Structure 1
């Protein structure tokens, strides 16, 4: 008897697992077991990458058909998670997410001006919470519903610089054999989606916003399941 298929939702280290709260019931209604590891307690680990991979793998029963979905800054951790799970029945979905950068750190993968900006805003070797990186009205536009905005922005972490400077390892065999999908939600990730397409990923695009799984969960569910059927 096959194990129940699992949708493993990995949030950005800059956000919290609350970013998946609106999407989870839609996926469950579609017949998926949904697993959402909480990355927040892991930020003080000696290796954030290793801790994330272990926590994600522990959320999935061995041999279970699994779809790994990573949002935003979770993208670079998806190869390691894929290899940690280690089954040959894997789909990996980048949801408006950064692509892997093996052999580089988060800050090392950025254009020089953006890397400089991160260093400038760091205080005592920590990044301030993500919501302080932008003008307040831009977050109001991104999350116009006050309840959704409070839920998404509550408890955001101040990431240690070790998370930003950790060099990520090269992917292994499970990553290379998985199917890779890229779902572009916002215009900011247009060039990233193009890079994914050039790498052979299956790419789907919608005109939405970076947090559409919060603001438009029905649409994101349909987009995700449609891409998996392709």
Structure 2
């Protein structure tokens, strides 16, 4: 069994690069599919994004454990459905839990929603690094090639995507679902995961720790996978 490491629609695959390298060093295969910019996808966005991921991974053969970060949590049920039974477990890594019938804006705090809507221009929300005060990203990722790649993958996102309701997709009962909280900002989401009965682990790191602390994150992901009764690697 191998990992699929799915980045947020608001970032890019570079965020998962260090964890993919750490897993490879442990003899575990991990694929990083690339979500096209939402502006390049047809609506409905959730379905188009899920099909784009499935097209990249199904040719490799499963089964898979899907790990999703941040806003990719809302896409996970659609990706599982598009993967035609090949996903055995889903790890929500500082990610938004499933929100069928609700849009991204309904999962966020009122202050952030108001701030983003005020920043929208020509129907587009600015790139993720422009959401926060100067220096916020620099405090999470040290200066260097990785941060350059991360920033280079950021792009504005259509306001329509934030307003599109996630599909009314049931969570398959034969798939294991777990939550790894990396930052205190996702404590509410971790609580929701526990309410759903998911195994939940907490690490006091930060939201981009897949890039900055890959050893700790990879170890926590493997521990969570074991809690789901799954085995990755040979």
- Tell me the TM-score normalized by structure 1: 0.90
In the alignment, the residues of structure 1 paired with residue 9 and residue 63 of structure 2 have an alpha-carbon distance, to the nearest angstrom, of 25
Give the C-alpha shift of residue 41 in structure 1.
4.2
Q: Cα deviations across residues 87-109 of structure 1 (Å, max 9, x unaligned)? A: 16510000001111100111233
Give yes or no for contact 1:42–1:51 (8 Å, CA) kept in 2: no
In the alignment, the residues of structure 1 paired with residue 111 and residue 137 of structure 2 have an alpha-carbon distance, to the nearest angstrom, of 23
Q: 1:67 maps to which residue?
A: 65
Give yes or no for contact 2:100–2:167 (8 Å, CA) kept in 1: yes
SS at 2:177's partner residue? strand
1:43 to 31, 39, 42: 39
In the alignment, the residues of structure 1 paired with residue 60 and residue 197 of structure 2 have an alpha-carbon distance, to the nearest angstrom, of 28
Give yes or no for contact 1:35–1:60 (8 Å, CA) kept in 2: no
Extract unaligned runs of 5+ from structure 1: none
1:90 to 68, 88, 93: 88
Give the C-alpha shift of residue 62 in structure 1.
8.0
Task: Verify: 1:22 aligned to 2:12, yes or no.
Answer: no
Give yes or no for contact 1:93–1:181 (8 Å, CA) kept in 2: yes
Pairs within 5 Å for 1:215-226 = 215-226=212-223
Give yes or no for contact 2:2–2:30 (8 Å, CA) kept in 1: yes
SS at 1:191's partner residue? helix
Give the C-alpha shift of residue 46 in structure 1.
1.9
Q: CA RMSD in A?
A: 1.8
Task: Count the aligned residue pairs.
Answer: 225
Pairs within 5 Å for 1:74-223 = 74-87=72-85, 90-172=88-170, 175-223=172-220
Give the C-alpha shift of residue 135 in structure 1.
1.4
CA, structure 1 residues 63+23, in 2 after alignment: closer, same or farther (shift >3 Å)?
closer
Q: 2:5 maps to which residue?
A: 9
In terms of mean alpha carbon deviation, does 209-218 or 25-34 score higher? 25-34
SS at 1:40's partner residue? coil
In the alignment, the residues of structure 1 paired with residue 92 and residue 111 of structure 2 have an alpha-carbon distance, to the nearest angstrom, of 25
Give the C-alpha shift of residue 157 in structure 1.
1.1
Give yes or no for contact 2:9–2:37 (8 Å, CA) kept in 1: no
- Tell me the TM-score normalized by structure 2: 0.89
Give the C-alpha shift of residue 149 in structure 1.
2.2
